[in-house]
Amino acid sequence: MPVTVHFAAGPAAWREYHDHLPRALADAGVQAEILLTAPDPAAVDYIVFAPSGEIQDFSPYVNCKAVLNLWAGVERIIGNTTLTQPLARMVDPAMTESMVEWVVGHTLRHHLGMDLHILNQDGVWRNEITPPIARERPVAVLGLGALGRAAGEALAALNFPVMGWSRTPKNISGIDCHSGDAGLAAVLSRAEIVILLVPLTAGTENLMNAERLARLPKGAVILNPGRGPLIDDAALLAALDRGHLGHATLDVFRNEPLPKGHPFWTHPRVTVTPHIAASTRPLTASAVVAENIRRGEAGEPLLYLVDRARGY
Ligand code: NAP
């Protein structure tokens, strides 16, 4: 009997997945019927989900063995009380590569002071500033999961002294790992560039509040490819305006798309990128979904299960 997979991520996503997902399931040895609508929810074995899709109420899916999210972040689904099935988040190797590239690119922009030359081609020979080399520029990655660890390791490979911070203690070669409140305070007091890659949970909302922003060395730069509410926006703007922070490069926002009149759009020391740091890539993500369905059918533990109590 084929397994029934309800692709509930919406028609736009299906246009991107309709080639890849059937092939990935076949490659994984899974015989599957993929449905775009589920007239009989009780017949569904697996739901492929994205917050852009239509399912709000998971309770009719009484035989569903797992909900497989196409997004890495689960903050928009985890509070859904009708969702009692196991929930897996997306860890996609191509998404990880893309995040590493975004983080390294924006870190190097600020580290090298690239704007000085890119924005000032006015005939003036400005050679008085010699930027430090990477080994002289401490950076911090908050969150050492799939994305934060990969980004931290890439920065360490360029010789940046990388500090990392996570909920539980870690030991990662090339990264000076910290955890807990005292660990965060120590990391922030030294970091000239801070990268936010923790998930949005009750424990991380407004993580970068006025007090923690004030701990950063003067001129520090913040990169946020995590989630908008990790930063207290008013505190960020105040820290930029008084010159304590040098720049903020933000990929994610409390409201997306970022509303037209938002001060971030026009602030001289804010760069907005429109949530493009790391999209899920259908080719590689399909293989992850297929592998999880294969595991589910073989009675093996699913990959990347979300812990509801932790919130990620
Ligand atoms: P992950 O593998 O779940 O890793 C999360 C990391 O954050 C872990 O190291 C975890 O600590 C740490 N953490 C969680 N809560 C914490 C707390 N209260 N204090 C300290 N550390 C905490 O997540 P991921 O796959 O790396 O993704 C991270 C986030 O990136 C996603 O949740 C999503 O919001 C964002 N994202 C953005 C984009 C984009 O395009 N902008 C794309 C993909 C993902 P432990 O290791 O101790 O558990």
Q: How many CB atoms lie within 10 A of CB 206?
A: 13
Question: Do 244 and 145 sit in the same domain of this protein?
Answer: yes
Residue 14 forms part of a structural domain: yes
Least confident of 47-51, 127-131, 168-172: 127-131
| 227 counts as catalytic | yes
Residue 102 confidence (pLDDT): 99
Residue 94 has pLDDT above 90, yes or no: yes
Per-residue H/E/C for 200-241:
CCCCCCCCECHHHHHHCCCCEEEEECCCHHHECHHHHHHHHH
Centre of ligand 1 to C-alpha 71, Å, is 12
Question: Do 74 and 104 sit in the same domain of this protein?
Answer: no
Residue 306 forms part of a structural domain: no
Question: Do 117 and 172 sit in the same domain of this protein?
Answer: yes
- Please give the Cα distance from 184 to 259 (Å, whole number): 31
Question: Do 106 and 182 sit in the same domain of this protein?
Answer: yes
Residue 86 confidence (pLDDT): 98
CB 225 within 8 A of CB 251: yes
Residue 53 forms part of a structural domain: yes
Residue 52 has pLDDT above 90, yes or no: no
Question: Do 83 and 98 sit in the same domain of this protein?
Answer: no
- Please give the Cα distance from 54 to 87 (Å, whole number): 17
Range of the domain at 249: 94-272
**Lookup: tokens for 210:** 């006025």
- Taking each helix axis from N to C end, the angle separating 282-298 and 93-112, rounded to the nearest 10 degrees, works out to 140
Tell me which residue of 264, 152, 248, 155 sits closest to 197, measured CA to CA.
Answer: 152
Residue 279 CA, closest ligand 1 atom number:
40
pTM of structure: 0.98
Arithmetic mean of pLDDT over the chain: 97
205: left (phi over 0), alpha (psi -120 to 50) or beta: beta
Evaluate the CA torsion angle 131, 134, 138, 143 in order and state its sign: positive
The identity of residue 126, as a single letter, is R
Instruction: Provide residues with CB under 6 Å of ligand 1.
Output: 72-73, 91, 95, 143-148, 165-168, 197-201, 203-204, 225-227, 251-252, 275, 277-278, 312
| 275 counts as catalytic | yes
Estimate to the nearest angstrom the gap between the alpha carbon of 10 and the chain centroid.
21
For the residues 157-184, what does the mean pLDDT come to?
98
First and final C-alpha spacing in the chain: 33
pLDDT in tens, 101-128: 999 999 999 999 999 999 989 999 999 9
Q: Could you give the residue ranges of the DSSP H alpha helices within the chain?
A: 11-17, 20-27, 93-112, 114-118, 146-157, 180-190, 210-215, 233-241, 263-266, 282-298
Evaluate the CA torsion angle 157, 160, 165, 169 in order and state its sign: positive
- Please give the Cα distance from 21 to 38 (Å, whole number): 17
**Is residue 301 reached through a cis peptide bond, with omega within 30 degrees of 0 on the bond before it?**
no
Centre of ligand 1 to C-alpha 245, Å, is 24
Residue 131 confidence (pLDDT): 87
Centre of ligand 1 to C-alpha 116, Å, is 32
Question: Do 10 and 60 sit in the same domain of this protein?
Answer: yes
Catalytic residue among 89, 149, 212, 227: 227
Residue 308 forms part of a structural domain: no
Centre of ligand 1 to C-alpha 204, Å, is 10
pLDDT in tens, 249-272: 999 999 999 999 999 999 999 999
**Lookup: tokens for 171:** 């030991």
For the residues 166-185, what does the mean pLDDT come to?
98
Residue nearest to ligand 1 atom 37, measured at CA: 226
Task: Give the distance between the most distant pair of CA atoms in the chain.
Answer: 73
Q: How many residues make up the chain in this entry? A: 312
Residue 54 confidence (pLDDT): 87
Centre of ligand 1 to C-alpha 89, Å, is 11
**Confidence category of residue 75, pLDDT binned at 50, 70, 90:** very high
For the residues 62-68, what does the mean pLDDT come to?
98
Residue 129 has pLDDT above 90, yes or no: no
Question: Do 206 and 111 sit in the same domain of this protein?
Answer: yes
For the residues 49-61, what does the mean pLDDT come to?
94
Residue 198 has pLDDT above 90, yes or no: yes
Residue 148 CA, closest ligand 1 atom number:
26
Residue 184 has pLDDT above 90, yes or no: yes
Residue 248 forms part of a structural domain: yes
Residue 312 forms part of a structural domain: no
pLDDT in tens, 291-309: 999 999 999 999 999 999 9
Residue nearest to ligand 1 atom 33, measured at CA: 73
Residue nearest to ligand 1 atom 18, measured at CA: 203
| Cα atoms in the Cβ-side hemisphere of radius 13 Å centred on 87 | 27
Residue 78 forms part of a structural domain: yes
Question: Do 115 and 72 sit in the same domain of this protein?
Answer: no
Residue nearest to ligand 1 atom 38, measured at CA: 278
CB 122 within 8 A of CB 143: no
CATH number of 256's domain: 3.40.50.720
Question: In DSSP terms, which residues pair with 221 in a beta bridge?
Answer: 193, 247
Residue 170 confidence (pLDDT): 98
Residue 35 confidence (pLDDT): 97
Question: Do 120 and 14 sit in the same domain of this protein?
Answer: no
Residue 230 confidence (pLDDT): 98
Residue 64 has pLDDT above 90, yes or no: yes
Residue 309 forms part of a structural domain: no
- Please give the Cα distance from 73 to 68 (Å, whole number): 12
User: Per-residue b/e over 166-194, b at no fewer than 16 CB within 10 Å?
Assistant: bbeeeebeebbbbbeeebbebbbebbbbb
Question: Do 23 and 165 sit in the same domain of this protein?
Answer: no
Residue 91 CA, closest ligand 1 atom number:
25
How many domains does the chain contain in total?
2
Question: Do 80 and 179 sit in the same domain of this protein?
Answer: no
Catalytic residue among 23, 167, 190, 275: 275
Output DSSP code: residue 71: S
Question: Do 81 and 225 sit in the same domain of this protein?
Answer: no
